[in-house]
């Protein structure tokens, strides 16, 4: 049986998919054929039926959370990631030399995710698909650092917003990287 490594070009029973395919920039859910995920840039990006769309997220409206705040959070988080014995070498292999462009890109990303600024225009799925040394369990380490950073820097009600979005995007990236048709994802809709 052909091994399917990504959601791109996968058609399958909608019930095999978890309910948490969310607003990950760069990913589209096409409900026309049951279940098919296409990524930005694919020739196949037909309109998404309303029934297949997750509810739109609202921008966080908290005067304490602006680009400066998010930039500081991002820098604190990647400081922890770089010091992590498992994740540090993975990032070091990809980002050689100046980290500032990556930190600015990630600030754009989080401003887009939380404040809906539209600052980020990259493609996270392909960027992660090429990271062959990443294991599924690594996401728990990543999320652990993210949660700890958010708890240390954010008011409690803001922590929840960042952590919830990070968990859902992490889930989407994990599905894109590790989903197999013969091993339906945990949390799949019955």
Give me the residues that bind ligand HEM (CB under 6 A), please: 87, 90-91, 94-95, 105, 109, 122-124, 127-128, 131, 134, 138-139, 142, 166, 169-170, 173
Report the residue number, 32 or 121, with the smaller CB distance to ligand HEM. Answer: 121
Q: Are 112 and 118 in contact (CB under 8 A)?
A: yes
Least distance (Å) from ligand HEM to the CB of residue 49?
26
**To 10 degrees, what angle do helices 67-83 and 87-94 make?**
110
Cβ partners under 8 Å of residue 128, min gap 6: 134, 173, 176, 177
Task: Tell me whether residue 62 or residue 119 sits nearer to ligand HEM (CB atom).
Answer: 119
Closest CB to ligand HEM among residues 31, 178: 178
Tell me the residue nearest to ligand HEM as measured from the CB.
122
Residue 35 CB, shortest distance to ligand HEM, in Å, is 22
Of the candidates 185, 176, 181, which has an alpha carbon nearest to the alpha carbon of residue 6? 176
- Smallest separation (angstroms) from ligand HEM to the CB of 177: 9
Output 17 or 74, the one with its CB closest to ligand HEM: 74
**Which CB, 51 or 137, lies closer to ligand HEM?**
137
* Per-residue CA distances from 39 to 42, 149, 173 (Å): 6, 30, 12
Question: Least separation, in Å, of the C-beta of 99 and ligand HEM?
Answer: 10
Nearest to 146 by CA among 125, 126, 165, 131: 165
Whether 26 contacts 123, CB under 8 Å: yes
In terms of residues, how long is the chain? Answer: 190
CA atoms within 13 A on the CB side of 174: 21
Minimum CB separation from ligand HEM for residue 33, in Å?
A: 27
In the complex, the smallest distance separating the C-beta of residue 13 from ligand HEM, rounded to whole angstroms, is 27
CB nearer to ligand HEM: pick between 69 and 162: 162
């Amino acid at each position: 049986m052909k091994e399917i490594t990504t959601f791109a070009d996968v058609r399958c029973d909608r019930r095999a998919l978890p309910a948490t395919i969310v607003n990950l920039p760069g990913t589209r859910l096409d409900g026309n054929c049951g279940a098919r995920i296409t990524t930005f840039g694919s020739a196949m990006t037909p309109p998404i039926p309303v029934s297949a769309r997750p509810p739109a997220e609202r921008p966080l409206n908290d005067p304490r959370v602006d680009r400066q705040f998010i930039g500081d959070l991002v820098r604190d988080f990647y400081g922890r990631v770089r010091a992590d014995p498992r994740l540090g070498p993975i990032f070091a292999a990809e980002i050689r030399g100046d980290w500032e462009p990556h930190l600015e890109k990630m600030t754009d990303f989080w401003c887009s995710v939380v404040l809906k600024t539209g600052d980020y225009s990259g493609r996270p799925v392909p960027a992660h698909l090429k990271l062959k040394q990443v294991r599924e369990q690594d996401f728990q380490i990543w999320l652990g650092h993210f949660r700890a950073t958010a708890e240390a820097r954010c008011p409690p009600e803001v922590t929840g917003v960042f952590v919830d979005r990070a968990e859902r995007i992490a889930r989407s990236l994990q599905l894109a990287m590790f989903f197999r048709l013969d091993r339906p994802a945990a949390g799949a809709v019955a």
